[in-house]
Structure 1
Amino acid sequence: MNSEPSASNQYLPRKTQWLWKGFYRYCRRYSAKHFHAVRLSKSSHLLNVAAGEPLVFVVNHPSWWDIIVCMLLSARYEKYQHFAPIEAGMLPKYKFFNRLGFFGVEETVEGARNFLRITQAIFSQPFNSLWITAQGEFVDPRVRPVKIRAGVGQLATRLKSGWIIPIALEYPFWNEKTPEALVRIGQPLKLDQDLDRQQWTALIELHLQESMDRLAQEAILRDPAQFDTLILGKSGVGGVYDLWRRFKAALKGKKADLSHMDDRKVSTQ
């Protein structure tokens, strides 16, 4: 036990807070430019995490957008410091991730051991969280059954308190030229069950799939009222279509509404 503090210092990922805040602001601007909206399902399970218990967010992995959307979602847990594994080969290409709480993971036996060492260091301190795109590679959100890497289940066996929180993501096109970024927070799993790695893996897969299924149903409805709008981007088709609508509005002395759906009555947080 005496070696635990030094082990934590050795394996805890680097994180520069001002750089994290700057990257968060960049993600907000970038998302507003490239999405019609970022929306959080109103059927999400919002957990009271005031006690500072460990949080493990298990996210499906449909796109490279996932890092940016998870970055935005992390602001809902503002008391926490957030960390995330990333493919080791990506870190030399995106070196600034080394200062944002990301850490490299290799798909080897030693890589798996290192993952557990790092996560042990992260959760040796309160108010820390881990975000994992648990499928390990890009997978279409419609693929069933949902499968995740066994390392997540192994981590769950080592944590004696805290929560597993499944996060479902989709990026469908609705009525605008840019897509929607849809998020649903699934039913949290309390880390107080005496399960082995396989049992934890299966249980997490089930809860993640349930959240993905519910989000898919909501996405099909194309109804913004089913969501809280976290970020609202630009509307319109562009080109001659928007030019014509601006011209008609100008003749009436009005400002053109270029949207194809009415977001004005949707709550924005």
Structure 2
Amino acid sequence: MIEAKKSRLFEKGFAIYLFPLLRRSFSHLLGRNVRKIPERPVIFIANHSSWWDGLLFFFLNHTVWKHDIHMMMHEKNLEKFKFFRYLGAFSIEKQNPKDIIRSLQYAETLLKEGKSVVLFPQGDEYHQEIRPLDFSNGIGYLVEKHPEVPVIPIAFYYSFRHEQKPEVWIDQGSCFSIEEIHGTSRKARTAFLQQAVTAQVDDLKKEAIAENTSAFEDLLKKG
């Protein structure tokens, strides 16, 4: 696996590059319930349909959460976009069982060190309309090994409306404690979180189709 090489200096410089890029690329980043969270380790999980997802996590963390986040990323993509290592990305190779274990153990180490971890439990990018989201059991493993760490689900939905550029709808769900994640096995807990994020994304889609922006704020303007 490829470990992260996070650099605070690189993060600051990258933010200067990223924020204008987002403004050029999207008409709006519409966020609902995107808010600060306690300054302790959390596990973020999200659906994964676009290359932008990781960059949106960086934007949200830089502007709102301000955690020391590290992101699990497919090895082939991290090899292609090596700069993600300096933003805290580390790799996983799904075809190699030993590498999967090493990556999950590395994520455990990060949590023990007080860092937050971002997972895309689908493992790869899939079209945002594909169902089921089909989560791998890595999230169930981390919940089992670190029951004290809450899980925060994030949903992304990409859409076009009345402007030339697309927009992103973003929803931050409530924290799940171990007591709120149903099931006693890794598989059962993974299935519960898969169902929760699926419902979250489907609800976000309905809001986008209805153009119901009343509960959302434009994070591009706020940022």
Task: Compute the TM-score of the two structures, normalised by the length of structure 1.
Answer: 0.75
Q: Does 1:39 align with 2:30?
A: yes
Instruction: Give 1:177's aligned amino acid.
Output: Q
Report the CA distance between 1:144 and its aligned residue. 2.5
CA distance in 2, matches of 1:66, 1:183: 10
- The list of structure 1 runs, each at least 4 consecutive aligned residues, that deviate by more than 6 angstroms after superposition, is none
Q: Does 1:25 align with 2:12?
A: no
Question: Is the CA contact (8 Å cut-off) linking 2:143 and 2:149 kept in structure 1?
Answer: no
CA distance in 2, matches of 1:99, 1:207: 31
Instruction: Name 2:56's counterpart in structure 1.
Output: 69
Question: Is the CA contact (8 Å cut-off) linking 2:3 and 2:89 kept in structure 1?
Answer: no
Question: Is the CA contact (8 Å cut-off) linking 1:39 and 1:230 kept in structure 2?
Answer: yes
Instruction: Name 2:142's counterpart in structure 1.
Output: 155
* Aligned 1:170-249 pairs, distance under 5 A: 170-192=157-179, 195-232=184-221
Q: Structure 2: any 5+ residue segments left out of the alignment?
A: none
Deviation digits for residues 69-124 of structure 1, max 9, x if unmatched?
1111112211x201011111233322222222111111111111111221121011
Where 2:153 maps in the other structure, the secondary structure is strand
Instruction: Name 1:125's counterpart in structure 2.
Output: 113
Deviation digits for residues 225-244 of structure 1, max 9, x if unmatched?
33111104xxxxxxxxxxxx
CA distance in 1, matches of 2:158, 2:213: 14
Question: Is the CA contact (8 Å cut-off) linking 2:207 and 2:213 kept in structure 1?
Answer: no
CA distance in 2, matches of 1:91, 1:12: 10
Question: Is the CA contact (8 Å cut-off) linking 1:218 and 1:226 kept in structure 2?
Answer: no
Count of equivalent residues = 218
Deviation digits for residues 29-86 of structure 1, max 9, x if unmatched?
1110010011102xx3746414x1x2111110111111111111112211x2010111
CA distance in 2, matches of 1:117, 1:86: 14
CA distance in 2, matches of 1:188, 1:211: 13
Identity of aligned pairs, percent?
24
Deviation digits for residues 119-164 of structure 1, max 9, x if unmatched?
12101122x1111122112222232333211111111111121211
Structure 1 pair 95–48 and aligned structure 2 pair: CA distance change class (3 A): closer
Instruction: Name 2:125's counterpart in structure 1.
Output: 138
Instruction: Give 1:30's aligned amino acid.
Output: L
